[in-house]
Amino acid sequence: MRITSKTIMIIMILLSIVDCKPKEPKKPVDKKYAWAYRKGAYEYTKIPGKFLGINFCKITLIDVIAKLKKIKVKFRCYDGATGEEFKYSGSKADIYKLGSVESSYFIGSGLDQKNIIKVSYDDSTQEEWFHFTIEFHEKYYNELLHKLGKILGTKTVNYNDLDYNETSWDADPDGAVPTCISSVVISRRLRYDDIKKENDGIAYLQIETRPRNGHVP
């Protein structure tokens, strides 16, 4: 049979479609985690301001640094405008440019520190609009998922809403129910990571707040 260039092109297109098809998410270990993978109507959660031992209505990057210094844990500081690392001295100039802090330690409570790889405490916009990203060993995933379900509930989760197999608890964006935290997300990769990272043994917990001026009394 003669294979034409048109036939080859069709085959290549079909192969690319198959290759780009998202992989199925990893299945929960047992049925008690099925709630975290259930697709349904989009739900809102009333997320408490104090969560995992941190008051997200009042926390600042200065508080983060003070806590890390107190327990003598190493950390790195980054300029919010340039993203470059700098040595923090506590001066007004340093406070002004401080955008994020990275450490291997979570300053709150309720998490297994030995399973934490890295924590990024970010406020790059300098509007007290916090993005905490906790990178942890995937073997801790189901245990943490269970803990989050107990704290935030299992009936108002949203699964795969942003198409990276994430499980999230989301506050009402219109502020009908006042909350300091806008979302809590657990996933096996970050939103814009390659899907292959779901199998690299690392997972993530992300906590995002509302901009401070708009939600703190």
In the block, residue with structure tokens 């197999």 = 165
Q: Which domain holds residue 208?
A: 29-214
By C-alpha distance, which of 167, 174, 127 is closest to 149? 167
The values of phi and psi at residue 142, to 5°, are: -65, -35
Domain annotation covers residue 158: yes
Report the pLDDT value the prediction gives residue 5, as an integer from 0 to 100.
53
Domain annotation covers residue 20: no
Report the pLDDT value the prediction gives residue 106, as an integer from 0 to 100.
98
Report the pLDDT value the prediction gives residue 28, as an integer from 0 to 100.
47
In the block, residue with structure tokens 């919010």 = 80
| Arithmetic mean of pLDDT over the chain | 86
Q: Is this model's pTM higher than 0.75 or not? A: yes
Report the pLDDT value the prediction gives residue 126, as an integer from 0 to 100.
75
> What sign results for the dihedral spanned by CA atoms 107, 169, 48, 154?
negative
Domain annotation covers residue 4: no
- For the stretch 196-206, pLDDT in tens is 888 899 999 99
Report the pLDDT value the prediction gives residue 124, as an integer from 0 to 100.
80
Domain annotation covers residue 110: yes
- For the stretch 54-94, pLDDT in tens is 999 999 999 999 999 999 999 999 999 999 999 999 999 99
Please report which residue ranges of the chain form alpha helices under DSSP H: 5-20, 61-70, 92-97, 141-152
Report the pLDDT value the prediction gives residue 30, as an integer from 0 to 100.
67
Domain annotation covers residue 127: yes
Domain annotation covers residue 12: no
Domain annotation covers residue 87: yes
Report the pLDDT value the prediction gives residue 199, as an integer from 0 to 100.
83
Beta strands at 202-209 and 181-187: parallel, antiparallel or unpaired? antiparallel
Domain annotation covers residue 13: no
User: How many residues comprise the chain?
Assistant: 217
Report the pLDDT value the prediction gives residue 32, as an integer from 0 to 100.
87
Structure-block tokens of residue 85: 């690392």
**What is the distance of C-alpha 60 from the center of its chain?**
18
Q: Count up the domains in the chain and report the number.
A: 1
Across the 217 residues of the chain, what is the mean pLDDT of every consecutive 10-residue run?
Answer: 52 50 49 91 94 94 96 96 94 94 97 98 84 97 97 96 95 80 96 87 96 57
